[in-house]
Amino acid sequence: MSEPLSLHARMRQATTALNSLPVPDTDAATHSERMMLELQQEMDSSGGAITFARFMELALYAPGLGYYSAGSQKFGAEGDFVTAPEISPLFSRCVAHQIQQVLLALEGGAIMEVGAGSGVMAADILAELERLECLPEHYFILELSADLRERQLLALRDKAPQLLDRVQWLDSLPQTPFRGVVVANELLDALPVHRFRVGSHCVDELYVTCSKDGFCWERGKISSKAVAERLEKIAPQLPYGYQSEIGLAAEQWLHTVGAVLERGLVLLIDYGFPEHEYYHPQRDSGTVMCHYRHRAHPDPLILPGLQDITAHVNFTAVAEMALDAGMDLYGYTTQAWFLLANGLEQAMQSISDEPRVQLELSRQIKMLTLPEEMGELFKVIAVGKGLAGVPLNGFMLRDLRGKL
């Protein structure tokens, strides 16, 4: 096995490369050291280096150690980042309105939320559907992280105890055909991506290896046929030195969902672009972004186990995979247009007309919808089966499918 990194080397990584990001406390540093050791062992047993996709998978999901598997506070003001359902209940209310339309069209069906984070979206969706008298019999939550499952249970117990008996946690996608709505907010950006770099004669995949100063990049052969096939399509147009990602795991995940979906909607909300923007010549360093205590930075090789690692979503590839998996593409739009089309303004009025509450809700709406906040970067894509005759409300104001 290669020599373990010294604590000094790690802290240097964490303080210099992080550009004044907070230095982890002793417990967190110890946790990160254990995560590093696991990553090093994996590198050693793989001949010295692992693909970035494998690095990201372990750093986020290694049991007990990965960022999402371990017990740190991730979401909200005390954590590393906020997501739309954490910013405002209005977000989940609008999503509930879209779900209601589909459940009515299907005359029933279940909801399956994948990657439910703190559980707040599940609680708010269920509460709104109760108010609309359109509750599903089952609200399934498919969540990888045992720690987050516990938090989701607590959140639901606290916010919607009367609806808890409808909620069921799943270890994997159902074995029997699923009818209803699959919903996921910021799931796809948290799935591992392969990284590549265009060289003078060929395209290399980027691997992660260990040096005395910490983890570092190493160029190597393309790791699989699937990555090679995607590169054949995208790389010929890209200039020398260009670096970016391929989100195969997100596409494969969607394929498995398509296989179990009998009839219904898959509603995915995330940040990203159509392919021509994703691989835009000016986006030559890729889209990987990390979050640590509300600071965003682009270095995924530091603070393993302590920071979130994400990559933007290529929505063209997602749409193509949906078609490949036998689903139809029903809509694609920005988060702002989706929320407005699902009654954002009316939802605000229905919460309270007290001026102070209205002021706070207006602030939340700005974060959700302004172009310079989440309004434009975040997109909503709707795919599924058997809903061709149901024009989905969320895409009525603006449908951007033509851009994919």
Closest C-alpha among 238, 298, 305 to residue 62 = 305
| Dist. CA 119–CA 139, nearest whole Å | 12
83, 316, 342, 393: which one contacts ligand SAM (CB under 6 A)? 83
* CB 115 to ligand SAM: min, Å: 2
Measured in whole angstroms, the distance separating CA 234 from the mean position of its chain's CA atoms is 23
**Under rule CB under 6 A, residue 300 binds ligand SAM:** no
35, 106, 144, 155: which one contacts ligand SAM (CB under 6 A)? 144
| Dist. CA 315–CA 251, nearest whole Å | 10
**Under rule CB under 6 A, residue 288 binds ligand SAM:** no
| DSSP per position, 283-299 | -TT---EEEETTEEES-
| DSSP per position, 198-262 | E-SSSEEEEEEEEETTEEEEEEE----HHHHHHHHHHGGGSPTT-EEEE-HHHHHHHHHHHHHEE
| Dist. CA 331–CA 392, nearest whole Å | 8
Residues 132/96, Cβ–Cβ less than 8 Å: yes
116, 126, 261, 339: which one contacts ligand SAM (CB under 6 A)? 116
32, 51, 100, 145: which one contacts ligand SAM (CB under 6 A)? 145
Angle, helices 89-106 vs 120-131, to 10°: value is 60
With tokens 């371990």, the residue in question is 70
* CB 379 to ligand SAM: min, Å: 14
Stretch that binds ligand SAM, among 43-51, 138-146, 236-244, 334-342 (CB under 6 A): 138-146
**Under rule CB under 6 A, residue 85 binds ligand SAM:** yes
Q: Which residue is nearest to ligand SAM (CB)?
A: 115
* CB 107 to ligand SAM: min, Å: 28
Residues 171-190 that bind ligand SAM (CB under 6 A): 185-187, 190
Backbone conformation region of residue 386, classed left if phi is above 0, alpha if psi is from -120 to 50, else beta: left
Angle, helices 355-369 vs 344-351, to 10°: value is 150
Binding marks (x or -) toward ligand SAM, 191..210, rule CB under 6 A?
x-------------------
Q: Which is nearer to ligand SAM, 68 or 207 (CB)?
A: 68
**Under rule CB under 6 A, residue 155 binds ligand SAM:** no
Q: Which is nearer to ligand SAM, 40 or 145 (CB)?
A: 145
**Under rule CB under 6 A, residue 301 binds ligand SAM:** no
* CB 142 to ligand SAM: min, Å: 5
38, 80, 128, 143: which one contacts ligand SAM (CB under 6 A)? 143
**Under rule CB under 6 A, residue 148 binds ligand SAM:** yes
Q: Look at the alpha carbons of 230, 380, 261, 192 in this order and tell me if their dihedral is positive or negative.
A: positive
Q: Look at the alpha carbons of 44, 50, 52, 58 in this order and tell me if their dihedral is positive or negative.
A: negative
Q: Which is nearer to ligand SAM, 146 or 202 (CB)?
A: 146
Return the bridge partners of 289, or none.
310
68, 207, 332, 338: which one contacts ligand SAM (CB under 6 A)? 68
39, 70, 110, 114: which one contacts ligand SAM (CB under 6 A)? 114
* CB 102 to ligand SAM: min, Å: 19
| Dist. CA 278–CA 284, nearest whole Å | 10
Residues lying near ligand SAM in the complex (CB under 6 A) are found at: 68, 75, 83, 85-86, 114-117, 142-145, 148, 185-187, 190-191
